[in-house]
Chain A
């Protein structure tokens, strides 16, 4: 039985009466109506945020008629052509907006405002207020010739290499640009780094691993002019280079292997994307090609296995499988892709223009949605179920029609196989209940199963069931024998079809309030060409992303090359020429050496967008080879080293730290590629999961000693050592990692199970290699940790500790282990000069 608790009918009756008495339409146009009825409501309920003394939330001013008609970021409050549909009425009736937000106006007040708006919302002149000051548009945010002339939006120049006085400090043109500014500031660079320090720096920079003492001594003893160049070439050709530099890229694209939220489910096959990145760096793939593969590799004609896997780029973000509002979630996901793409490739914070025009840069809201339109054919990662993810985001790495046919055939056979398995399992279960123990024994062999089943016709199994069973077993075997080999699967981008969704400007970013329709176009401040969109013939997609990729990867793009050479510089020197490497806009850092940045960008493009040549160019400069030692005058004048009078010291990243532990104790496993590894995570940390241990696998000890880049990245469960040493936050793009110094790091390096286990391995290694003599053990240990021959004092200090512990009754092996633990805590181990 239906019962109405609500008294709304009652209210309605009462209100109808008051409506006629209080708000006759005739009087609603009169000045008195406004002053006596309307204004008091506005003053009490609206002016706090939209009145003459407010900060004008959303840019809306309700104090005069101009303000009403002009409206705020969501559009005009009152629409003279369709008064009843005015946004003001929508908002007070809690439609697409809910105003005032704390509680809905009483019905009689809504009636008054409705009558007033319907009467055309007149405001008598004498009752109008002045719009408060300071709420006018910032000229820097308008697209004008002036704002187009902002340094980062100008075409890349090829500046002349400046002349310098101190030309004996010049190894290549980079030094000219650096020295010019130092000389202008009357400062000098410090002396070159010692060779041992330089090679250690180079190893970590390029491959993220320490050199051996033999590598170092060979370099120190090589007196040829090309000694360092040879080291660089060797490192650039090492496969470990891609693991180190690929990791920088993974930080940018927020690579993670799960989706976050309640289930934090695994992203199938996403490790192939990591392998793709590492391989691309190792192959020295031109950066413009790397861009095109990730943004539109599926639309290549024909695609390649790499170009398909590369589009996993679109699948790396967080995914709420149970969103509050599906439509809003679609736009949240697209925003995540747009944010990452615009910041990573272009150094633009276009995401700031989602709800309104950008407040700092000349990026109108319209440009945001025109840019979003390039992605608006992309299917959402999935809708709730795993099957939906398979449908939207998983596919075969099939590069031609034959592969695709093979894959389709295999899929259909797999579905048939599942059906046969179901039937077979059903009968097998029944048989388990019926069979005698000796029969159960025989049943282990596949060949006899049908015969055994036949014996039970009429004794628990029907004739039909058994003949179906026999057929299923036969067919199953046939399929297994003849089905085409599997086509590997990958997580990839897929579009809704040849025709993408229409794109509208979303008022205040609200997915349910559509404004004007827009077509794909590039940010207008860059004076871009019209996008050329051609529908691809081989894939069910729009071709829009290809147009985007071609523009981003073009030599004409003002930002792409600049942004990338800046990142290369950043990872060599610890800070980019533009410090805010994801933000080249007005609120970002200004370049310390804009001419150098352009000079490098030009060389980069002229060299075919190849990274390895840039590494070499940078590392062969005198600037890169400077010592990290201080100099009093320069430190006082330029303490942050903005002018590069010396090289910046740096701490190892979390990956470098872990890899170095394994390199030192001899356990490092350099196996490359494939699915991720799972370090042991302490119970205390697993206890934070709603199902402790869920979603975390096991790896053998040998696998766990692989490089840290292969550690499984679970968004809700970050490996604690990595977290303590400032691993990138993986929910959004990470251009620069933090370097924190905190006591939990000391606790973890001293007390964690992991470090103590590694110290024991180290002790075993030293005993094996150096024999029983403490001094030899200590000497070898220090050498492997610092990559230099230790001094006598340093060795004695270690021996002293071991002896003293032994005297206290600590067993020999344990004493050595504790010394090894101390070695892993040395500042010299964790810091590079």
Chain B
């Protein structure tokens, strides 16, 4: 695992000593390594030449998408109230029927129908049915591919979220964003490669497990970005420290560190650490610049719903996502909903109240994001993914009310951009939406599709751990959803 030497020095030291320094270009380009990363057993030797783990890397084949924005509808939106039109349920409200369901309330064989609470209309050239919850997104259906036949392994939030984010219901595996930065590195070393934005009401359950890099090194961990205040933890210098002071401090530090390194030329970690102070310093400027949305026109801000009472926060995050992707960030995940109960899409009580709220918060921002990316020509290589950890049941959870329990037997997710065929839909659920029946797809197929669009054979992108070549799609493997790929 050792790099070739230049007169007994590694490539990295050669650059350093010949005065190339550690500019962004050097870090990003010259130091990149062709192969994939270190095995865990050689990471600690202090001898293997330092390689920037986030240097951009080439995937297996020419990618359709270079970035991903995952709009995570935490809690599980109801598919039959949003995109999965079920006309036969009309007039069935409150009728008790036989249907197998499995949610937090356990396995049931019958239930009381809650008729979808919103009207559906057909939109676009493709004629996709969309409910009144999403008047703005409805205008974009010709750019969207709907997967109506999603299935997942768990109808319980904790394990189902791990499934959607890391491909396994067991805790401990790296999530999608970590796999992406592991595979592709990052285009902009001054910004984190993998960013997560949270709902101000709180994180999702299991917190950081949802964006954990699991058994991969910390280089692939997510960075939480806030849409207000200091965007990233520890980004701002301590209160009262001026830029001049910081520069002086860093210059002194650099002198000490170079002197220390002078007699230890062969240890590239030392040089890398020295370089990282420059990088950190640049990040202090780059990240606030990236998150400064005052640079955006009023029209753009309006398009994202920034002025809306309910849509302001999510709109801001969507706009930030575009600005980040524009600057080379690989993977952005935004959570709609946080905390517990009705602070997210988990509509166990009053379905209408819950979904009206969360739809109002997200509809215009998401439509705005799609429009904006499209008008800037960015949609073609930015992959948008929308959905939650599962859908919801056709029947009521309790004797009274409209609340629906979880449903992992069938639900809808959609994708757009990044080489996805707009205006398509694939798969069906039964006439109640209780389970997927035709062209069923598993979360692994969704992950396989995302990796495929990023230029990877999902069954080949692997990381050696625990005696196995681990893959996001598991040892069994999974195929991408060809029907929605352009």
Is B226 within 8 A of A818, CB to CB?
no
Name which residue of chain B comes closest to A737, CB basis: B44
Name which residue of chain A comes closest to B163, CB basis: A324
Is A351 within 8 A of B438, CB to CB?
no
Is B208 within 8 A of A738, CB to CB?
no
Q: Check if A323 is an interface residue, CB within 8 A of chain B.
A: yes
Is A688 within 8 A of B218, CB to CB?
no
Q: List 17 A-B contacts (CB under 8 A).
A: A4-B97, A103-B438, A261-B209, A264-B206, A264-B209, A324-B156, A343-B466, A580-B39, A587-B467, A688-B207, A688-B208, A688-B224, A690-B203, A729-B214, A746-B276, A747-B284, A756-B238
Query: Which of A79-87, A210-218, A278-286, A803-811 forms contacts with chain B?
Result: A803-811
Do A818 and B439 contact each other (CB < 8 Å), given the known contacts A650-B44, A716-B209?
no
Do A261 and B158 contact each other (CB < 8 Å), given the known contacts A651-B269, A744-B223?
yes
Chain A, 279-335, CB within 8 A of any chain B CB: 318, 320, 322-324, 332
Apart from A641-B47, A805-B248, what 13 extra A-B contacts exist at CB < 8 Å? A2-B98, A103-B149, A262-B206, A324-B155, A339-B466, A640-B42, A649-B269, A716-B207, A720-B233, A808-B242, A818-B241, A826-B256, A830-B273
Interface range for B: 35 or more
Is A630 within 8 A of B266, CB to CB?
yes
CA gap between A349 and B470 in the complex, in Å: 14
- Digit string of A720-748 for contact with B (CB within 8 Å is 1, else 0)? 10011010010110011111111111111
CA gap between A349 and B211 in the complex, in Å: 27
Q: Give every chain A residue within 8 A of B259 (Cβ-Cβ).
A: 794
Q: Top 4 nearest A-B pairs by Cβ distance?
A: A349-B467, A731-B172, A262-B158, A746-B280
Q: Check if A247 is an interface residue, CB within 8 A of chain B.
A: no
Q: Check if B46 is an interface residue, CB within 8 A of chain A.
A: yes
Q: Check if A821 is an interface residue, CB within 8 A of chain B.
A: yes
Is A822 within 8 A of B41, CB to CB?
no
Do A724 and B257 contact each other (CB < 8 Å), given the known contacts A574-B45, A682-B233?
no
Query: Which of A60-68, A131-139, A385-393, A631-639 forms contacts with chain B?
Result: A631-639
A49 to chain B, nearest CB (A): 10
Choice from A2, A339, A747 contacting B235 with Cβ under 8 Å: A747
Q: Give every chain B residue within 8 A of A648 (Cβ-Cβ).
A: 45-47
Choice from B8, B41, B468 contacting A589 with Cβ under 8 Å: B41
Is B238 within 8 A of A751, CB to CB?
yes
Q: Check if B236 is an interface residue, CB within 8 A of chain A.
A: yes
Chain B, 289-339, CB within 8 A of any chain A CB: 338-339
Q: Check if A831 is an interface residue, CB within 8 A of chain B.
A: yes
CA gap between A746 and B242 in the complex, in Å: 17
Is A579 within 8 A of B42, CB to CB?
yes
Q: Give every chain A residue within 8 A of B438 (Cβ-Cβ).
A: 103
Using a Cβ cutoff of 8 Å, how many contacts connect chains A and B? 316
CA gap between A826 and B283 in the complex, in Å: 20
CA gap between A742 and B252 in the complex, in Å: 20
Q: Give every chain A residue within 8 A of B54 (Cβ-Cβ).
A: 742
Q: Check if B265 is an interface residue, CB within 8 A of chain A.
A: yes
Do A740 and B217 contact each other (CB < 8 Å), given the known contacts A320-B158, A687-B198, A689-B202?
yes
CA gap between A264 and B203 in the complex, in Å: 14
Is B266 within 8 A of A741, CB to CB?
no
Q: Check if B70 is an interface residue, CB within 8 A of chain A.
A: no
Q: Give every chain A residue within 8 A of B338 (Cβ-Cβ).
A: 690
Is B260 within 8 A of A826, CB to CB?
yes
Q: Check if B88 is an interface residue, CB within 8 A of chain A.
A: yes
Is A324 within 8 A of B169, CB to CB?
yes
CA gap between A636 and B4 in the complex, in Å: 10
Most buried by B among A351, A585, A630: A630
Choice from A320, A587, A650, A682 contacting B46 with Cβ under 8 Å: A650
Chain A, 600-655, CB within 8 A of any chain B CB: 628-630, 632, 635-636, 639-641, 648-651
Is A740 within 8 A of B234, CB to CB?
no
Name which residue of chain A comes closest to B257, CB basis: A827
Q: Give every chain B residue within 8 A of A649 (Cβ-Cβ).
A: 46, 264, 267, 269
Choice from B40, B98, B260 contacting A6 with Cβ under 8 Å: B98
- Digit string of B340-364 for contact with A (CB within 8 Å is 1, else 0)? 1000000000000000000000000
Most buried by A among B159, B171, B340: B171
Do A822 and B46 contact each other (CB < 8 Å), given the known contacts A103-B437, A651-B269?
no
Q: Check if A685 is an interface residue, CB within 8 A of chain B.
A: yes
- Digit string of B159-199 for contact with A (CB within 8 Å is 1, else 0)? 10000000001111000000000000000000010000010
Q: Give every chain A residue within 8 A of B172 (Cβ-Cβ).
A: 260, 318, 729, 731-732
Choice from A324, A630, A739, A756 contacting B154 with Cβ under 8 Å: A324
Q: Give every chain B residue within 8 A of A756 (Cβ-Cβ).
A: 238
Q: Give every chain A residue within 8 A of B26 (Cβ-Cβ).
A: none
Chain A, 406-463, CB within 8 A of any chain B CB: none
Is A723 within 8 A of B261, CB to CB?
no
Q: Give every chain A residue within 8 A of B60 (Cβ-Cβ).
A: none
Q: Give every chain A residue within 8 A of B273 (Cβ-Cβ).
A: 741, 745-746, 827, 830
B147 to chain A, nearest CB (A): 12
Q: Give every chain B residue within 8 A of A517 (Cβ-Cβ).
A: none
Do A822 and B5 contact each other (CB < 8 Å), given the known contacts A738-B43, A746-B279?
no
B224 to chain A, nearest CB (A): 6
Is B277 within 8 A of A746, CB to CB?
yes
Name which residue of chain B comes closest to A323, CB basis: B159
Q: Give every chain A residue within 8 A of B46 (Cβ-Cβ).
A: 574, 648-651, 739
- Digit string of B67-92 for contact with A (CB within 8 Å is 1, else 0)? 00000000000000000000010001
Main secondary structure of the interface of B (DSSP, over half): loop
Choice from B98, B205, B209, B253 contacting A826 with Cβ under 8 Å: B253
Is B95 within 8 A of A738, CB to CB?
no
Q: Give every chain A residue within 8 A of B245 (Cβ-Cβ).
A: 805, 808, 810, 818
Is B217 within 8 A of A821, CB to CB?
no
- Digit string of B455-478 for contact with A (CB within 8 Å is 1, else 0)? 000000000001110000001110
Q: Check if A691 is an interface residue, CB within 8 A of chain B.
A: yes
Is A718 within 8 A of B234, CB to CB?
no
Choice from A263, A589, A685 contacting B233 with Cβ under 8 Å: A685
Q: Give every chain B residue within 8 A of A3 (Cβ-Cβ).
A: 92, 95-97
Most buried by B among A579, A750, A808: A750
Is B431 within 8 A of A5, CB to CB?
yes
CA gap between A822 and B245 in the complex, in Å: 12
A693 to chain B, nearest CB (A): 10
Do A639 and B248 contact each other (CB < 8 Å), given the known contacts A684-B226, A744-B234, A814-B240?
no
Q: Give every chain A residue within 8 A of B18 (Cβ-Cβ).
A: none
Q: Check if A828 is an interface residue, CB within 8 A of chain B.
A: yes
CA gap between A668 and B259 in the complex, in Å: 29
CA gap between A720 and B222 in the complex, in Å: 12
Choice from A589, A739, A805 contacting B44 with Cβ under 8 Å: A739
Do A262 and B157 contact each other (CB < 8 Å), given the known contacts A5-B432, A575-B45, A732-B172?
yes
CA gap between A318 and B168 in the complex, in Å: 14
Q: Check if B249 is an interface residue, CB within 8 A of chain A.
A: yes
Q: Give every chain B residue within 8 A of A4 (Cβ-Cβ).
A: 97-98
CA gap between A598 and B22 in the complex, in Å: 45
Is B45 within 8 A of A640, CB to CB?
yes
Choice from B104, B198, B217, B235 contacting A738 with Cβ under 8 Å: B217
Q: Give every chain A residue within 8 A of B104 (Cβ-Cβ).
A: 322
Is A726 within 8 A of B198, CB to CB?
no
CA gap between A623 and B49 in the complex, in Å: 23
Is B241 within 8 A of A688, CB to CB?
no
Q: Check if A706 is an interface residue, CB within 8 A of chain B.
A: no
Q: Give every chain B residue within 8 A of A737 (Cβ-Cβ).
A: 43-44
Most buried by A among B206, B244, B272: B206
Q: Check if A797 is an interface residue, CB within 8 A of chain B.
A: yes
B149 to chain A, nearest CB (A): 8
Name which residue of chain B comes closest to A814, CB basis: B240
Choice from B221, B252, B266, B269 contacting A635 with Cβ under 8 Å: B266
Q: Check if A583 is an interface residue, CB within 8 A of chain B.
A: yes
Name which residue of chain A comes closest to B48, CB basis: A640
A63 to chain B, nearest CB (A): 20
- Digit string of A99-131 for contact with B (CB within 8 Å is 1, else 0)? 001111000000000000000000000000000
